[in-house]
Each structure stands twice: as C-alpha cells, then as structure tokens.
Amino acid sequence: MRPFILPIPAVVLVVIPALPILSLLLAFILRRRRRKPTITTIRCLHVGRALLTSSPGHLTPLASRALPNQRLVTAFGIDNSFTTASYSRHKAFRSRVEHLLRMSSASWQQTSTLAQTLFRQNTSSLHLVPFVRQYVLTTILHIFFADFVPFQPDAVAELGDLIHSLWLQSKVGAPSVTSQRRLQETLRHLFPGMTENPLDLLLPAYETLWRTVMRCFLEVQFRAGEQAPAWRELLAEYLGQPSSPRFYASLDGVSPAFLVKETLRLYPPTKRIYRATTEKNWVAVDVEGLQCSPEVWGKDAEHFRPERWGEADAGTWIPFGTGTFVCPAKGEFAPRLIGILVAAMLGAVPKDARWTVEHEADDVLRGGRLNNERDGYESLKLFW
C-alpha cells in the first residue's frame, strides 16, 4: 500500500495557516494536563482519619486543605477556614462561627416560627429544588446576619441559584465571568453596607444544609416515612417546642435526631474530603463510600433506617469530617436546624401530596437510595 502524502499546495494552504491555532490548542491541552492533580481515593476509615488528623506530606494541615479549595477562592473570592493557610485567620474565623452557632432557646423558637412563616405563600404546589434553596438560605441569612434586609425573596433566590451554579462550574473549570458579576451585584443588593464577604460564612452552611434538608424531607414524606407515620408526629412536636430534649426524645425507637443522623449517613453533602500531599498529588477521603458500605453497616446499608441509631456505632459516621478540622456545626446547630426545617416542610405539605417530574432520573421512588448528586431532582414538583 502506498503511504498517504499530503500534496504540497495542501500543506501551504491548510496546515501552515492553521499552525498558530494548533499550537495554541496544544499549549492549552498541555496546561490543563499539567494542572490536573492525581487524586487517590481513601476507602479505609483508619487511613482517612489519620490523614485528616495529621498533615499528609510536607505541607502544613491548613495548606494541605487550602490547596484543593483554591477553586472556591477563584469562584467566590472567599477567605475562610477552608481556603486559608494562615493560622491566625483560621482561628479568628472559627471562633466567630462558634460564637454564631451558640443559639439561645429564644432564637431556636424564632427560627421555628420563621420556617413556618416562609411556607405561607405555598398553598397548593411547590417546585422543590428552587424552593428549598430559597427557604434554607433565607433562614441562614436571618440567623447569621443581623443587618440582613428581609423581604427580598427574589434576590435571595437569585443568590441561592448563583452560588449553586458557580459551585458546579468551579468543579469543571473556570467559572463564568457573567455569573460572578451577577453574584457581586446580588450581594451588594442584599448587603448594602457590606465590609466583608458574606460568602465566607454562607458557603459552608448553605451548600451543605439545603441538600440535606431536601433529602430528609423526601425520605420522610414519600419513601421510608410512608410506613412510619409516627415520624411526622415526632417532628411536628419538635417544631412546636424546638428544644434539645425534644430533639433527642424518641417514639418507638426513633427520634428527630436519629432521622437527621440517618439522612447525613445515607446522603452526606460533603461526599469526599480532600487534602493535598503535594501540589499535584491529592487524597480524597470517601465519606459517602464509607457511610454506605455494607461491610460496615450490614445488608441494609443503602436503606433509610433511623432505628439503627439505637445501637449503631457512630465510628464510621463522618459527615462533618473528623480529626483536626471537624465542623463546628456538628454538635447541635446543624442537626437541630435540619430537624426544624424538615419539620416545617412536613407541616405545610399534606401527607397525600403528589409529585411529577420531567426527567425520569428525578423519580423519587426509583430503586435504591435517593440520588445524592448536587444537581438531582431539579425537575421535581409537588402539588396537593
């Protein structure tokens, strides 16, 4: 067979003019390749815990965490515990958060009232994902920002959507400049006198809470909760009296605390926790894999069974991380807030509400556990 040789005029006419574009393309591909780190997934609890307790490699523990989180600095301009390599900044930010998370009984009661008020306009239908985002974000804004200007539901909804889409964009490449500009405008609108970036605080709280609230609601409303009407009653009682003893009080071996705990086991919003050993070598502790493993949790590992917490060992339950930088909201704040937000939803949506989806993947009764992806259930609508 004769080898294929490009005729000389074709080289002159096609290949040579395209050379600058081809070399640019090659440089782009090589740069992307160079930038992408190698990620090793850790599926052993002991190894994972050791990595999250002492710094892997030569980096300091803060630098080892800050490196994989640089995409959040690019997308949101944040400077918080997750992104700083400075110990003084970390200490100051963490103390501020711990102070904000210590809520009085009166504040818990106000939060319960607010959650119920936010449902007043939704009397017969609900586009679930946009609603839950706006609902959770509004609640957090009220709790964290004394100067937050209320009654701007559209701006809050826009903020929630922008945070979510920029987060997704930051995972795959450079975030869109238009979205970033819109985010800054929305923030200026909601926080006219802002002196520091509200996203430092909002980001760790909002992106974890709204997804947990939605999945806990779906389990109790449409799935495992169908066979357990007592769960709704339990949560309703807690909503009426949102105290710590009520949160832990159980009926037939299940408490609001167990419902939240089981949701965070089956659907951890932080699915993997990353650390860098060097700039190009990262490790990812597989929280979701560990928490859904049949070897640890038995044959029903993929089922929502809050009763298991009566005797389960919490050793492999690490939705709030473990080791050096464990989440300050782990103890009471996040679990109790999730309980209130889910309870208010169940109080407003009747037990016999129906649902529709545009995409089959959003079917809440598909086999196995719920979809735990960030963009799941976008087309799900409820009506009653």
Query: Which residues of this chain interact with ligand HEM, rule CB under 6 A?
Result: 52, 65, 81, 94, 97, 201, 204-205, 208-209, 212, 269-270, 273, 319-321, 325, 327-329, 334
Q: How far is the CB of 63 from ligand HEM (least distance, A)?
A: 12
Alpha carbon distances (Å) from 220 to 180, 239, 273, 334: 36, 15, 28, 18
Nearer to ligand HEM, 75 or 283 (CB): 283
Q: With respect to ligand HEM, which residue has the nearer C-beta, 74 or 324? A: 324
Residue 110 near residue 337, CB atoms below 8 Å = no
Minimum distance of ligand HEM from residue 96's CB (angstroms)? 9
Q: What's the closest the beta carbon of residue 286 comes to ligand HEM, in angstroms?
A: 12
Note the Cα 206 to chain centre separation in Å: 7
Q: How far is the CB of 358 from ligand HEM (least distance, A)?
A: 28
64: which residues sit within 8 A by CB, 6+ positions away? 55, 56, 57, 275, 276, 277
CB of 47 to ligand HEM, least distance (A): 15
Task: Return the residue matching tokens 């996203």.
Answer: 199
In the complex with ligand HEM, which residue's Cβ is closer, 175 or 204?
204
Residue 270 CB, nearest distance to ligand HEM (Å)? Answer: 4
With respect to ligand HEM, which residue has the nearer C-beta, 97 or 128? 97
C-beta of 132 vs 334, nearer to ligand HEM? 334
Task: Assess contact for 355 and 379: CB atoms under 8 A.
Answer: no
The whole-angstrom separation of Cα 106 and Cα 112 is 10
Rounded Cα distance between 212 and 329, Å, is 14
Q: Which is nearer to ligand HEM, 213 or 234 (CB)?
A: 213
Residue type, 374: R
**Minimum CB–partner distance for residue 291 and ligand HEM (Å):** 11
Distance in Å, CB of 226 to ligand HEM, minimum: 24
Among the listed residues 152, 105, 119, 127, the one whose alpha carbon sits nearest the alpha carbon of residue 341: 119
23, 119, 138, 230 from 341: Cα distances, Å: 54, 11, 11, 18
The rounded distance, in Å, linking the Cα atoms of 239 and 223 is 21
Closer to ligand HEM at the Cβ: 49 or 182? 49
CA distances from 132 to 68, 138, 159, 259 (A): 28, 10, 13, 18
Nearer CB in complex with ligand HEM: 48/225: 48
Q: CA-CA distances (angstroms) from residue 316 to 44, 55, 129, 247?
A: 10, 20, 29, 22
Residue located via tokens 């009080």: 249
Q: How far is the CB of 198 from ligand HEM (least distance, A)?
A: 11
Of 160 and 319, which CB lies nearer to ligand HEM in the complex structure?
A: 319
Rounded Cα distance between 129 and 109, Å, is 25
